[in-house]
Amino acid sequence: GENVEQHPSTLSVQEGDSAVIKCTYSDSASNYFPWYKQELGKGPQLIIDIRSNVGEKKDQRIAVTLNKTAKHFSLHITETQPEDSAVYFCAASKAAGNKLTFGGGTRVLVKP
């Protein structure tokens, strides 16, 4: 089955700096890669996703890149703010079905 590795497990950045989280996946058939943000005491919430026919996608301060050849994808957060502090999860899925395989998560702390 699919295996998703996520690094780093914790990330501390100064407000205004950029944060980068990287994930690798094992199944070359995966072609949907969402990113979720989980705030304390809440369920994960989708923040951005990318499909295999796209190499990069951007939404305001967040962007995701995908390298299908190397089987890795990354989340980039620019101009970080204290409200970006949360746990972030990457995930991978194949075309059929909605079964997601998640990475282990990254706890991001933005220091004011």
Partner 1 sequence: NAGVTQTPKFQVLKTGQSMTLQCAQDMNHEYMSWYRQDPGMGLRLIHYSVGAGITDQGEVPNGYNVSRSTTEDFPLRLLSAAPSQTSVYFCASSYGQGVFYEQYFGPGTRLTVT
Q: With contacts defined by CB under 8 A, name the span among 13-21, 65-73, 77-85, 92-100 that binds partner 1.
A: 92-100
- Tokens, residue 53: 């026919």
Among 13, 63, 71, 101, binds partner 1 (CB under 8 A): 101
Among 8, 16, 55, 104, binds partner 1 (CB under 8 A): 104
- Tokens, residue 52: 């295999």
Q: Is the Cβ–Cβ distance between 2 and 25 less than 8 Å?
A: yes
Tell me the C-alpha distance between 97 and 110, whole Å.
Answer: 35
Q: Which residues, numbered 32-91, are part of the site for partner 1 (CB under 8 A)?
A: 32, 34, 36, 41-46, 49, 51, 89, 91
**Min dist. Cβ of residue 15 to partner 1 (A):** 26
**Min dist. Cβ of residue 55 to partner 1 (A):** 17
**Min dist. Cβ of residue 45 to partner 1 (A):** 7
Tell me the C-alpha distance between 31 and 49, whole Å.
Answer: 11
- Tokens, residue 69: 């050849």
- Tokens, residue 25: 């996946």
Contacts of 59 (CB under 8 A, 6+ apart): 47, 48
| Residues that bind partner 1 in the complex, under the rule CB under 8 A | 1, 4, 6, 9, 32, 34, 36, 41-46, 49, 51, 89, 91, 93, 95-105
